[in-house]
Amino acid sequence: MRARLLTALLAALAFLPALPARADTPELPDRIAAAWRTDHLSVDPRLAPGIPQSELDRIRAAMRTAAVPVYVALVPRTPALGKKTYDMPTLLHARIGTPGLYVLAVVDGNYWSTLAELYRPGGLRGRDLVSVQNDDKQRLDVLADRPAPRIVRTIQQASTAFDGRALPPVPAGDLEPPSDHGLTTTDKEDRSAYIGMGVGAVLGFALTLVIGLRRRRRHVPKASKQPAKDEPPIDAWEVQLKADDRIKAAERTVARLDKRRNRTTEQLDQRDDAYRRLDAARALRADHPDDLLASAGALVLARQAERGASGAAVQPPCFFDPTHNPGTATVDWSDDVQVPACQQCASVVRHGKTPRGLRVWSKSGLLGHDRKQVPYWTLDPEDNPMVATGFGALSDDLPERVAAWKDEVR
């Protein structure tokens, strides 16, 4: 009886139509790319009810006036997005394949941040988008509680990078209110004191600079065409000034983030990471004020701290020369190792050559009395955390290594 029942059941199953396999949900880059094929402005369905039409209309207007095709996606911050966030513009460009500006606007609570990459048609050159953004003095003051201000500003920055058009001023309605609002009398007195100290420091620095330049002129022979043996291969003083300026800029950006009310978890993480990098930059300048590698490391760390505190992606430095623009390109280097490089150095590598790179003095010869200029990456990585990490290009733990190095020196 049981055998007959089993046989009948198997026969019935044989005639049942095969159920279609359940398709996997497309990944976020695929969903955005599919939406872009009909509309270059993609809004996640979960966000659509809460975004005013006026915001979308303004973004579309900016897209139409851009110098390049623009693709914009508005998405919420989710765990699934995770570490893919910083790679999304690249992943989206790989799916679309069209040169243009790719913008991912991510919202966490009421805070909007943007990630963007500019891809030019083959053979065209121009300014790097990151360098335009770094030169934009108003970028840190743009409102982040709605999507249009930052997206429109990013489109304007890309147009400047593409064809050199002047960067227009940010409308007053897109700027954060002046930070003076809400200051107590004590705060204003403290600020006045800081301003006075700053003016005194600037005057003192100017006096020191004048004295230093006079002494330098006395020691440099007029007829000398080659740098003296004790001079660094590049002007370390210039790198030190850049590092100090970037540290001050990072301090202002972190302080501005600290003053924000109702900070999100992401903003708190950005603040902590910015302080971690900023503290390491300060330590390098304080403990090794005349060292070229330390000054370049401080410049990189302060630049990363400033970007992180402003809500932008923290970018690795150019492996070959950390004083160049950040490493926005990836090139093959030494036994299938890939390193980040600026556009200038990446172009040199792609032509089968080695960039000059950041060069430092190194002892050579039988007794070590001879000195020659060598790329920094040829030095012993055990002696310096900047060399060991490529200034953070090879591993993003330079702040921790700087702290450990400080303890070792002590």
pLDDT in tens, 340-361: 999 999 999 988 899 999 998 8
The answer on pLDDT for 35 being more than 90 is yes
Task: Mean pLDDT check: name the lowest of 6-15, 42-51, 86-95.
Answer: 6-15
On the question of pLDDT at 246 being above 60, the answer is yes
What pLDDT does residue 148 have? 93
If one counts every other C-beta atom within 10 angstroms of the C-beta of residue 365, the result is: 9
Question: 30 near 61, Cβ under 8 Å?
Answer: no
Q: Give CA–CA dist 291/232, Å, rounded.
A: 10
Asked whether 277 and 302 are in contact (CB, 8 A), the reply is yes
Q: Do 47 and 143 touch, CB atoms closer than 8 A? A: no
Longest dimension (CA), the chain: 114
**In whole angstroms, what is the distance from residue 298 CA to residue 292 CA?**
10
pLDDT of 45 reads: 92
Q: Give residue-wise pLDDT tens across range 105-140.
A: 988 878 888 888 898 887 677 778 887 887 888 887
Q: What residues have CB less than 8 Å from 309, skipping those under 6 apart?
A: 250, 253, 254, 256, 257, 270, 271, 274
Q: Read off the pLDDT of residues 256-308 as tens digits, 9 standing for 90 and up.
A: 888 888 888 888 888 899 999 999 999 999 999 889 999 999 999 999 999 99
Residue type, position 345, single letter: C
Give the pLDDT score at 212. Answer: 56
What is the reported pLDDT for 410?
55
Enter the tokens of residue 220. Answer: 């440099």
- Is residue 184 pLDDT above 50, yes or no? no
Residue with tokens 């593409």: 162
- Mean pLDDT, rounded, for 156-177: 88
Two structure tokens written together for 31:
């969903």
The residue behind tokens 């030190």 is 240
Strand partners, 108: 111
- What does the angle CA 387 – CA 390 – CA 393 come to, to the nearest 5 degrees? 165
The CA-atom distances, in angstroms, between 80 and each of 77, 90, 329, 357 are 8, 17, 25, 38
Q: How far is the first Cα of the chain from the last one, in angstroms, to the nearest whole number?
A: 88
